[in-house]
Chain A
Amino acid sequence: MIKHAPRSRLFAAIVALLAHSSAARIASADEWPDRPLTLFDDRVVLGGEALVTAAPEDEGFFNYTDYDRSALRLVRLGVTTSVRANEHLSFLAEVRAEGDTGAGAWSGEPYALLVRVRPWLNRSFELQAGRIPPAFGGFLRRSYGRDNPLIGYPLAYQYLTTLRADALPRHADDLLERRGTGWYTGYNVGSAGWTHGVPLISAFRYDTGVLGRYASASNRVELLGSVTTGTLSRPRVRDDNGSPQVAGRVVLRPLTGLVAGLSAARGAFLANDVTYALSEGGRASEYAQRTLGADVEYSRGYAVVRAEWVHASWRLPALEEPALTDALGAGSLSVEGRYTLAPGFYVAARADRLWFSTVSGTYGSAPWDADVSRLEAGAGYSLIRNVIIKGSYQYNRRDGGRVRRAHYGAAQLVLWF
């Protein structure tokens, strides 16, 4: 699942990419790297982002991602290349090399790999096919280091719950025993190994499928729809349950500076690994993740305020008593603000809450995973236009698990072009 490249090979790849970028600039621009590099009469455009993050060890695993690394210790080099065949057809690939400054866990693979088709040049309509961003939520479209005013991610997009698609709790007690251990969990039904659970939505990998986007002439209304192989919590390259996810998103811009979005998605969650445990005639595709989201952004002058609500529910098979008869729900609310104090200098803060529905076990009822709260505040300073240094302080609180409270300071350097 995760390709761990040797560190030396990864660094060699990074050096090769930088060397390639440097060679390209000579033909395109006398300053580097504050704009995309262009080749062949703008047919090929290269952009990129490199970030290095440093923070103390996350002993509570509050910031661990579905790539087994901490979002507060993330190292990433991403290069995005767009190749325009003609006015109707283009290709885009984003390749990322990522690792953790402490744990390693290095990997390199395509993050996005898609073909773009614009059937009509006079209409704002396009189709994407390949490894694509799903048509859901506000944060997925600004998860790059340059766009994220802080270092951490919203809980809904990063925090690992105790749910797994390839292993099932036999009953409610199984689930309740593992509250607050989403970074490393396992169950007796399905895959035997222990690994991380899934977030509500993964911000660290894209799904595979087809996406359509339409915007009105005034751009006040934007519609997105996608059909993909995985789910928001578990994007996939290859289908492993024979049932796709359907997602849709409506974006409204009624006033300048105000953006509101509504999203919905439904997709089969369980992998085929667990179908043997289902009752006769049961199909993995019946056990779905349903997700709803609403997000709003308002900006004016030097301030930007955003809020996003996400609710996900997963239906799991009721195998043994005390059975999981109801869908498992999880809700998240995130509110963030950013204020520019001086040219190139801003302050930002985000308050986050993630909560879970209650299940009944042998010894009583409790949320099926431990609720989490997070407060992060920080600042960013642009050394030059495309080099940003950020610092932030993060406080996490969890109603379960081994570590219930944790404070972290983090620093990040972001370079983009």
Chain B
Amino acid sequence: MVLKSAARTAALLTLAFALTPPVAGQPVRSIIRGQVSIDLAETVVRRPSPTDPGEPLTRDAADQRRAVVYFETAPRGAFEDRDANRARLDQRNERFVPRVVAVTVGSTVDFPNNDRTYHNVFSLSKTKRFDLGRYAAGHSKSVRFDRPGIVRVFCDIHSHMNAFILVFAHRYFSVTDASGRYEIDGVPPGTYTLSAWFDGSVRDQKTVTVTPDARVLEVDFNAR
């Protein structure tokens, strides 16, 4: 299911090249922002085992509720605009923090280990397969992501650790903050399909028309 979702998203992101809406002359750039409502925080629990301690894991409910809002169809020229950047996915208290990272193609993600124990970060996703091996606290390794799609990230030692990296071919996306708010700026006029993604799949979609005189558009999603 995850791989299907990843493949579907990758295909949609690629299709976005072909489905770019028209752009009016010298448009005013607008902001689309809003709220993503999520009922269920994704749970992080240990696999039940008689040989593992039964101590509960520390939880960060806000981090578990992070969603991503992105354009299914990006404005023309968006793919030339994108800036490769650098992001960070910490390993802390046997969790990946943040649990969701979104970057543009060509970006590099650092994986610092800030725990007292070893971690072994890896992914078997089609978008990017990698295995960073075991490394101790204070050390970090990096991975560059060259293809759009969804990358599931796990730890080979602690099976309850998991995270998502969403790699976009354009810059029109936003990860929600602790209160579920998002904001995408610099949007040229046009009609776009926006998707709200949460925990492996698209939970809600909206079609939005940005007029030349629009400044701020409020678009809320229900990702329940």
Chain A residues packing against B (C-beta within 8 Å): 28-32, 34-36, 38, 42, 45-47, 80-82, 87, 90, 92, 94, 112, 114, 116, 118, 124, 126, 128, 132-133, 140-142, 206, 213, 215, 218-219, 256-257, 299-302, 304, 340, 342-344, 382, 384-385, 416-417
Contact = CB atoms under 8 A, between A and B. Distances in A.
B83 interface: no
Nearest to A215: B53
List of 6 A-B pairs having minimum Cβ-Cβ separation, nearest first:
A82-B48, A31-B1, A112-B50, A256-B136, A47-B47, A343-B131
Contacts of A114: 50
Nearest to A82: B48
Given A94-B50, A133-B50, A385-B152, A257 B118 contact: yes
A118 B54 contact: yes
B17 interface: no
Among A32, A124, A142, A344, chain B packs the most CB atoms within 10 A around the CB of A344
Interface of B: 1-3, 5, 43, 45-51, 53-56, 116-118, 122-124, 129-131, 133-137, 152, 154, 160, 162, 199-201
Contact of B136 (A92, A112, A257): A257
A340 B45 contact: no
Contacts of B122: 343-344
Given A219-B116, A344-B129, A124 B47 contact: no
Contact of B116 (A36, A81, A126, A218): A218
Contacts of B48: 36, 45-47, 80-82, 92, 94
A347 to B, nearest CB: 14
A302 B130 CA distance: 12
A145 to B, nearest CB: 13
Contacts of B131: 302, 340, 342-344
Contact of A36 (B47, B129, B135, B137): B47
B53 A92 contact: no
Given A38-B43, A42-B45, A385-B152, A128 B124 contact: no
A163 to B, nearest CB: 26
Given A80-B49, A81-B48, A87 B3 contact: no
A385 B200 CA distance: 15
A32 B45 CA distance: 15
A116 B49 CA distance: 11
A87 B54 CA distance: 10
A306 B5 CA distance: 38
B45 A382 contact: no
